[in-house]
């Protein structure tokens, strides 16, 4: 399928999705959101893809936010629908069922920070900047920022970022747990690919259930979460990958996983 705002490339079971509006710092317009939603719906059932990397075109920005020009006509009802629409796209990314790594190559502001938050792992280039500057425009984050940022970095730091609108640089993002790793810009692509390749080399049956189990930890209490973990652990034990993984270890050979 041809995309107007995205570049989509799959090699070795890893799909790289590049937001491609570099002249607008990859700001998320309606087309980009629509195309992202359609793409992630397709990736869910794409048997050729086991992991996804999301990044931005150019050297300056991951995504500099929602396209501000498209905000001006919103009112109470259409604003609510606008936010819900963006939330649905980011939920499709979070719930893809396959690992999604954000390769943050510059500004990740507003919807860009929220896009990174919807991914499962974030790796930042040294020049990355993360922020929720919506209050500067008279609004609040609407694509999950108030919820996912607070869950990831804690309420106090999320409050500070959202109430002041001030961005944090890559090292501060690392310090507060907003990103997993910071690397020189020239190494970003390769670092993300190496991590994706490592994940893809494991038994995908377990990878998918691990994603699910960790995700549940953000939405439930410890007792219920542990119950879900035990059930999913049991499900893993019924998989071919589990039999292969344990047999391969005992036979001192590399496992050949089938993802089932
Ligand atoms: N929506 C629409 N257009 C945007 C945009 C956004 N969120 N962010 C950047 N752009 C556009 C600019 O309007 C400019 O377009 P133009 O060349 O047609 O005038 C182009 O991208 C380059 O941006 P510019 O502001 O000239 O780059 P800069 O290096 O001076 O500043 C930023 C970079 C990121 C600090 C600045 O663009 C910015 O503050 N963007 C808005 C961030 C934001 O508030 N995001 C949350 C939105 S809810």
- CATH value at residue 245: 1.10.12
* Catalytic-residue membership of 114: yes
Residue pLDDT, tens place only, 175-207 = 999 999 999 999 999 999 999 999 999 999 999
Same domain, 123 and 224: no
Residue nearest to atom 4 of ligand 1 (CA): 24
Catalytic site residue from 94, 114, 229, 251: 114
Same domain, 195 and 108: yes
Residue pLDDT, tens place only, 107-132 = 999 999 999 999 999 999 999 999 99
Residue pLDDT, tens place only, 64-75 = 999 999 999 999
CATH number, domain containing residue 67? 3.90.226.10
Dist CA 145 CA 143 (whole Å) = 6
Same domain, 64 and 179: yes
What are the tokens at 102? 């954000």
pTM of the model: 0.97
* Catalytic-residue membership of 227: no
With a 6 A CB cut-off, is 59 part of the ligand 1 pocket?
no
The range of the structural domain enclosing residue 244 comes to 204-250
Same domain, 30 and 130: yes
Rounded mean pLDDT, 5-9 = 98
Same domain, 15 and 56: yes
Closest approach atom of ligand 1 to CA 132: 46
With a 6 A CB cut-off, is 29 part of the ligand 1 pocket?
no
Q: How far is the CA of 165 from the centre of ligand 1 (A)?
A: 15
Same domain, 193 and 222: no
Residue pLDDT, tens place only, 134-181 = 999 999 999 999 999 999 999 999 999 999 999 999 999 999 999 999
Domain count, the chain: 2
Phi, psi of 130 (to 5 degrees): -115, 135
With a 6 A CB cut-off, is 167 part of the ligand 1 pocket?
no
Neighbours of 42 (CB within 10 A): 13
Residue 51 lies in a domain: yes
Quote the pLDDT of residue 114: 98
Residue 77 lies in a domain: yes
Quote the pLDDT of residue 1: 77
Quote the pLDDT of residue 59: 92
Catalytic site residue from 2, 35, 126, 134: 134
Dist CA 93 CA 99 (whole Å) = 9
Long-range contacts (CB closer than 8 Å, 24 or more residues apart) made by 252-259: 255/203, 257/202, 257/203, 257/204, 257/205, 259/50, 259/203, 259/204, 259/205
Dist CA 51 CA 76 (whole Å) = 37
Q: How far is the CA of 25 from the centre of ligand 1 (A)?
A: 6
Same domain, 211 and 111: no
Same domain, 29 and 109: yes
Quote the pLDDT of residue 247: 97
Same domain, 129 and 218: no
Same domain, 188 and 233: no
With a 6 A CB cut-off, is 32 part of the ligand 1 pocket?
no
With a 6 A CB cut-off, is 140 part of the ligand 1 pocket?
no
Residue nearest to atom 42 of ligand 1 (CA): 64
With a 6 A CB cut-off, is 65 part of the ligand 1 pocket?
yes
């Amino acid at each position: 399928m041809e995309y107007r705002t995205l570049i989509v490339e799959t090699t070795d079971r890893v799909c790289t999705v590049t937001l491609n509006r570099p002249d607008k710092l990859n700001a998320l317009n309606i087309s980009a959101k629509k195309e992202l939603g359609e793409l992630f719906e397709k990736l869910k059932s794409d048997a050729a893809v086991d992991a996804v990397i999301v990044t931005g075109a150019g050297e300056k920005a991951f995504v500099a936010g929602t396209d501000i020009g498209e905000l001006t006509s919103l009112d109470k009802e259409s604003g609510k629908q606008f936010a819900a629409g963006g939330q649905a796209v980011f939920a499709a990314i979070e719930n893809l069922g396959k690992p999604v790594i954000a390769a943050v190559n510059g500004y990740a502001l507003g919807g860009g920070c929220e896009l990174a938050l919807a991914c499962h792992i974030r790796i930042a280039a040294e020049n990355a900047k993360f922020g929720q500057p919506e209050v500067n425009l008279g609004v609040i984050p609407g694509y999950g920022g108030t919820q996912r940022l607070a869950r990831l970095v804690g309420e106090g730091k999320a409050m500070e970022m959202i109430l002041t609108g001030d961005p944090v640089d890559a090292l501060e993002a690392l310090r507060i747990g907003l990103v997993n790793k910071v690397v020189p810009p020239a190494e970003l692509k390769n670092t993300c690919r190496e991590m994706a390749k490592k994940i893809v080399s494991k038994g995908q049956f377990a990878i998918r259930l691990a994603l699910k189990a960790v995700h549940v930890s953000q939405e439930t209490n410890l007792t219920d979460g542990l119950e879900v973990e035990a059930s999913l652990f049991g499900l893993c034990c019924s998989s071919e990958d589990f039999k292969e993984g344990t047999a391969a270890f005992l036979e001192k050979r590399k496992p050949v996983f089938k993802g089932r």
